[in-house]
């Protein structure tokens, strides 16, 4: 993957996995604005323990985490803390990662990159036989709900340069995908590259 | 499990798995009212394909299914249809199944039955090595969201005799748990037994 100083570029439509040691932070910068970043985390000690959206919603008592909130695992352990967020705070815990079937149903012809495949491939490059695909934390994704529970997919309101920083509470493998969706408005004219930066000593 | 004519009693705090052939219907009756029933389904042909709350929300574009809605699998296939619902329609797709750690965190001392264990055991009695616990469809569970995304756990509004009927679109194994929760208000004074009835030829 290309690097630029301490920053790594995660190319539009691609995925990556990286290791965060306890205490390290990962900053995800929406370089061009409007880009959704599907995000997963697995415990290093046992990758069957994964960041779980349903456990996070249950522990927080809310649909969307905000600064100061922990993000919880399938075993109800805090894996990460959302420590900084300069974006408008639209993130999603409700929607499944896009996958080849999603694009087929949306009318795509031929091959289309997807977050589900990016997840599997990124982990496999780390020698991790990925578990069943967990529901992702869709950073910068704006899904609006109404009183009746109807959901609407909106363009990401993240501006160029907005970033989110996650701090690891235990050693985790984080997988990220610069969502390749171009058949609904979520990526606001993208997909585009994003930038990643690991802060703190390994 | 005790049976009474065509009806089966699912005891409070217990779980069961049963096979529904394509076209068969399963009626789940809230015999005493107020009881949450955690519900899962796995494709018979390949139990790694499971009823997925995140795929169901994505396909329906809403938080809670209603009569006429399909319920979708991890491969975006319609597995079940919600064909009847005489309850007020409060069901939940957001909250993780209760598990031993949930009860420990809520202050329970000693052993406490849980939906997660009921799921594993019920499937294991069918010779199915259960996959990682999927997020359940929490029938009759009333979780209220507000505009800001805050979630509130309320007592189930299901009245005695209210029922939900699910129709299988393909052969599935359905697992159900009469939720043992007694440390928050969701079961409205329960837990209580519920009744199950399979309609249609095997």
The pLDDT tens digits of the residues spanning A53-95 come to 999 999 999 999 999 999 999 999 999 999 999 999 999 999 9
Question: Per the CB < 8 Å rule, is B58 touching A95?
Answer: yes
Q: What pLDDT, on a 0 to 100 scale, did the predictor assign at position A130?
A: 77
Question: In chain B, which residue's Cα lies nearest the Cα of A55?
Answer: B96
A2 found inside a domain: no
Domain for residue A25, yes or no?
Answer: yes
Residue A139 domain-assigned (yes or no): yes
Q: Which residues of A touch B131 (CB under 8 A)?
A: 132
Terminal C-alpha separation, chain B: 19
CB burial string B116-131: b at 16+ within 10 A, e below: bbbbbbbbeeeebebb
Of A76, A102, A147, the CB nearest to B102: A76
Q: Are A115 and A130 in contact (CB under 8 A)?
A: no
Q: Which of A58, A63, A101 sits opposite B145 (nearest CB)?
A: A63
| pLDDT at residue number A129 | 85
Q: How confident is the model at residue B3 (pLDDT cuts 50, 70, 90)?
A: very low
| B41 within a domain of the structure (yes/no) | yes
Segments in chain B forming alpha helices (H) = 53-60, 100-105, 115-125
Model pLDDT, residue B65: 98
Residue A1 lies in a domain: no
Measure B19 CA to nearest chain A CA, in Å. 23
For residues A153-170, average pLDDT: 98
Do B149 and A64 lie within an 8 Å CB cutoff? yes
| Domain assignment of residue B202, yes or no | no
Q: Does a structural domain hold residue A202?
A: no
Residue B172 domain flag: yes
Nearest residue, CB atoms, B57 vs list A52, A74, A151: A151
pLDDT, tens digit, 9 for 90 and up, residues B146-173: 999 999 999 999 999 999 999 999 999 9
Interchain CB distance below 8 Å, A76 and B99: yes
Number of domains in chain B: 1
Domain around A89: 7-197
């Amino acid at each position: 993957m290309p690097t630029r100083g301490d920053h790594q570029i995660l190319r539009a439509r691609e995925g990556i996995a990286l290791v965060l040691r306890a205490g390290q932070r990962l900053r995800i910068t929406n370089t061009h604005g409007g880009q959704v970043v599907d995000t997963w985390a697995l415990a290093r000690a046992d990758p069957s323990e994964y960041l779980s959206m349903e456990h996070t919603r249950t522990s927080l008592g809310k649909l969307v985490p905000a600064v100061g909130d922990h993000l919880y695992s399938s075993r109800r352990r805090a894996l990460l803390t959302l420590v900084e967020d300069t974006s408008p705070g639209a993130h999603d815990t409700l929607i499944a990662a896009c996958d080849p079937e999603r694009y087929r149903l949306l009318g795509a012809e031929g091959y289309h990159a997807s977050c589900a495949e990016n997840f599997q491939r990124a982990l496999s490059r780390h020698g991790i036989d990925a578990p069943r695909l967990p529901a992702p934390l869709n950073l910068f994704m704006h899904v609006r709900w109404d009183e009746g529970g109807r959901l609407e997919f909106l363009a990401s309101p993240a501006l160029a340069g907005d970033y989110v920083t996650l701090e690891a509470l235990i050693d985790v493998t984080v997988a990220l995908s610069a969502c390749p969706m171009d058949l609904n408005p979520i990526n606001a004219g993208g997909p585009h590259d994003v930038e990643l930066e690991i802060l703190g000593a390994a």
